[in-house]
Structure 1
Amino acid sequence: MSTPVVRTERVGTTLLITLDRPQARNAVDAEVAIGLTGALDELEAAPALRAGVLTGAGGTFSAGMDLKAALRGVSPEIAGRGFGGLTEAEPAKPLIAAVEGFAMGGGFELALACDLIVAAEDARFGLPEVKRGLIAAGGGVIRLPKRIPYHLAMELLLTGEPVDGRRAGELGLANRVTAGGQAVAEALLLAERLAENAPLALAAVKRVVRAADGAPDSEAFAFQRGEMKTLMASADVTEGMTAFAERRPARWTGR
């Protein structure tokens, strides 16, 4: 029986997802893409899970696309979900990247597809596709200029040169910067913080942010009004207000 290249572990209300091809620096091939798709489906399907943490085994997040597999015509994309089954997916639940070592090319794009990033200070983020005659087509060219100032994004995209985790924090790419080897632990703590909040509200935040991206304010507010109407009719809103009045932690049901 073969060893899975993507492992999942439930840690409290968090699903820890680990890319597990350390011998290939967790490069993404079709098998990894299928495994990551399954892991994200597991996260979405389990009501007890509130957030996911994505990381890589062996001290490396991911070296990106498996070029050897790509040269054989093996695609690392999943229809409707993009590179690795993630870059064009829209998970309802929060997803945190815990980056140790290299997050290069498609690996960086997997991190950019997450909602939050925790980086070890000695991690390396880069989009070297231009050095191979390509562009960062898994979301790098599209997402990076929205996350950091235009000229800084263009420097990374046009030079293909990497930055370390400390610099990623300075640029605003990383929410937390840790000592080496501590990114997963910090990401799990951050996931616990998220789990204190209403799951319906967390999912609504993500939907509104997506809908508002590039849309006129009038359309964004119209979409948001629909989300608010749904939330106000939920049991969780009643519970949240009651818990506040009674000065106790809320007991969320996701209904």
Structure 2
Amino acid sequence: MDQINSPVLQKHLNEHILLVTLNRPAARNAINGALTAALGQIVEDTESNPDIWAVILTGSGDKAFSAGADLREVADGRVAQLSTPRGGFAGFANFQRSKTWIAAVNGPALAGGMEIALACDMIIAADTSIFGLPEVKRGLMATEGGLYRLPRVIPRAIALEMIATGNPISAARALSLGLVNDVVPADKLIESAYRLASGICENSPLAVRESLRIARHAQAWPEERLHREGHEALAKLAKTEDYQEGPSAFLEKRTPKWTGR
């Protein structure tokens, strides 16, 4: 399948930042089997590519980031095709990723679309976007992360209200609740996400990766384990070239040249 007709597009914005685009705009970027397979493969490829340090994930068009699972697939009995063994829903929602993923939410992020955004490390939202888990309105449940990730990132009472009513919130409300990192005009979305990714890539990719690995578990692991894992990770970093490069660049008053090794 050629790139332009692929259900997921990818474009290198620079040597370390990849832009990944859900590409089913006519279906509001709903998740079907082909998109799941394509996105799952891209996640695997980014994990194994040492030159990719950050990924921006967005949707095609201006109608939606993603409306979640393609209900036609569900109705036709093909729901199993919407997950992969390693990545879960969309080949993404439960993938144990080490690279930084930033959701650039360009429109409504609903149901599984919101769960994909929640699975990312950070979210930049267009001012036209909304966020919601409307599964209960269809007799379904947000079992791909929505039910447990949302109450971790916004106040419990608000999360339970969103889950029980299925009603969405605006981008501005999402920002006030801490669900998203920033809200920007739609035409500045990718630029803003790229600026955030670039700031991350100014740092040691190994240090960022290990720091995020532990921070992602901050609410699940006991403090003793978090402390131990942090020191073990630092001991591993001490054996790398980048660990030596950081202090050397500081003393020499120059910009560090990270290698990821």
Which range, TM-score by smaller chain?
over 0.9
- In 2, are the aligned partners of 1:96 and 1:115 still within 8 Å (CA)? yes
Structure 1 contact 52–96 (Cα < 8 Å) conserved: yes
Aligned to 1:205: 211
Residue 135 of structure 1: aligned partner: 141
Q: Which residue of 2 aligns with 1:28?
A: 31
Indicate the percent of aligned positions where both proteins have the same amino acid.
40
The answer to whether 1:216 aligns with 2:222 is: yes
Aligned residue number for residue 6 of structure 1: 8
Aligned counterparts of 1:183 and 1:42: Cα–Cα separation in 2:
25
Aligned positions of 1:240-251 closer than 5 A: 240-251=246-257
1:76-106 deviation line (CA, Å, top 9, x unaligned): 1111211111111021110000001110000
One-letter amino acid of the structure 1 residue matched with residue 98 of structure 2: A
Provide the rounded CA distance (Å) in 1 between the counterparts of 2:226 and 2:50: 28
- Deviations along 1:144-188, one digit per CA (max 9) or x if unpaired, are 000011111111111110111111111111101101232222111
Tell me the secondary structure at the aligned position of residue 137 of structure 1: coil
| Aligned: 1:68 with 2:72 | yes
The reply on whether 1:104 has 2:110 as its aligned counterpart is yes
Question: For residues 258 and 192 of structure 2, what CA distance do their matches in structure 1 show?
Answer: 24
Match of 1:151 in 2: 157
C-alpha displacement at 1:123, in angstroms?
A: 0.2
Q: Name the CA distance, whole Å, in 1 between partners of 2:253 and 2:92.
A: 39
How many equivalent residue pairs?
255
The CA distance in 2 between the partners of 1:211 and 1:108, in whole Å, is 20
- Please state how far the C-alpha of 1:211 moved relative to its aligned partner: 4.0
Name the structure 1 match of 2:202.
196
Distance 2:96 2:203 in 1: 20
Deviation at 1:14, TM superposition (A): 0.8
- Residues 122, 166 of structure 1: 8 Å contact kept: no
Provide the residue aligned with 1:45 in structure 2.
48
* CA deviation map 1:94-136 (0-9, x unaligned): 0000001110000000000000000011101100011111211
SS in 1 for 2:11: strand
Matched, 1:226 2:228: no
Instruction: Give me the whole-angstrom Cα distance separating, in 1, the residues matched to 2:186 and 2:225.
Output: 43
CA RMSD, aligned part only? 1.2
Query: Quick one: which amino acid aligns to residue 9 of structure 1?
Result: K
Please identify, of 38-47 and 150-159, the stretch whose mean Cα deviation from structure 2 is larger. Answer: 38-47
What TM-score, normalized to structure 1? Answer: 0.96
Select 2:121's aligned residue among 104, 115, 126.
115
